[in-house]
Amino acid sequence: MFIQAITLFPEMFESITEYGVTGRARKQDIWQFAAINPRQFADNKLGYIDDRPFGGGVGMVMMAEPLFCAIQAAKQQFSGSLKNSRVIYLSPQGQSLSHKKVLELSQLDNLVLLCGRYEGVDERVLQTAVDEEISIGDFVVSGGELPAMMLMDAVLRFVPNVLGEIASAEQDSFADGLLDYPHYTRPAEFQGMAVPDILKSGNHALIAEWRLEQSLRRTLTRRPDLLVSRELLPQETRLLDKIRQESDE
């Protein structure tokens, strides 16, 4: 997958292109990245890429021309099939990012991520050159770069070989619609708190059931909304009934 970010702060993306599993995978050429700074497309010598808003109001708006040219330049860099590409604008006004959308985006060859700064971008860029507007949550941050990196990381976890054979994104809790179970490692006792005995039993079937019960228990108490739209396997229904009976006692 080839990901391009249109951003005034290219260096910010080093946190995902140089570090962690995503950084290692990029260095292994499992995915590729390029940043395009719209300032190079400013048609004035001073590199202005923002201007005052029509209609007045605080702050500045990113001008259409430099962004449009940057998106065109990104499209000329596409690898693989051109049609398997998407230009995405990260904004609080976008469609909420979901696991389903992450999976859909992970199938693409090319992603272009437009990162807004100032008060946002000229609407005409969105109308002519952006395919989708996506929000990573109902909150506002100072620029689109961090939301873009969140989207990138979530998507890259589903690109083959990014995670390596040990971990797999499919086993992530959200992948099967439940919250994750608690994790423990050595020492077996920490500040007087012991690790649940079941995890030291070596009985992998019982351990798997305990973990599933913990996921269900956590999901029921912290995010019951996730259970509403989820099909339950017989074993899950049995465990949920057991958990609900406990809380009814």
Query: Smallest gap, in angstroms, from Cβ of residue 153 to ligand 4H6?
Result: 14
Q: What is the DSSP letter of 44?
A: S
Distance CA 85, CA 162 (A): 19
Whether 133 sits among the annotated catalytic residues: the reply is no
One of 92, 133, 180, 211 is an active-site residue; which one?
Answer: 92
Applying CB under 6 A, does 92 fall inside the site for ligand 4H6? yes
Of 87, 14, 76, 13, give the one whose Cα is nearest residue 41.
76
Strands 50-51 vs 61-62: parallel, antiparallel or unpaired: antiparallel
Q: Scanning the structure block, which residue is given the tokens 């604008």?
A: 89
Neighbouring residues of 175: CB distance < 8 A, sequence distance ≥ 6? 99, 169
Q: What residues between 139 and 168 interact with ligand 4H6 by CB under 6 A?
A: 139-144, 147
One of 66, 157, 213, 217 is an active-site residue; which one?
Answer: 157
Of 169, 78, 96, 84, give the one whose Cα is nearest residue 134.
96
Neighbouring residues of 211: CB distance < 8 A, sequence distance ≥ 6? 181
Query: Smallest gap, in angstroms, from Cβ of residue 178 to ligand 4H6?
Result: 25
**Phi/psi of residue 106, nearest 5 degrees:** -70, -10
Q: Pick the binder of ligand 4H6 from 30, 69, 90, 178 (CB under 6 A).
A: 90
Distance CA 84, CA 96 (A): 22
Q: Which two tokens stand for residue 32?
A: 């590729």
Applying CB under 6 A, does 38 fall inside the site for ligand 4H6? no
Query: Smallest gap, in angstroms, from Cβ of residue 151 to ligand 4H6?
Result: 8
Of 114, 101, 119, give the one whose Cα is nearest residue 62.
119
Binding-site string for ligand 4H6 from residue 94 to residue 133, where x marks contact by CB under 6 A and - marks none:
----------------------x--xx-------------
Residue closer to ligand 4H6 (CB basis): 94 or 177: 94
One of 65, 172, 176, 209 is an active-site residue; which one?
Answer: 172
Query: Smallest gap, in angstroms, from Cβ of residue 16 to ligand 4H6?
Result: 16
Residue closer to ligand 4H6 (CB basis): 92 or 177: 92
Whether 186 sits among the annotated catalytic residues: the reply is no
Whether 119 sits among the annotated catalytic residues: the reply is yes
Whether 218 sits among the annotated catalytic residues: the reply is no
Active-site residue set? 92, 119, 157, 172
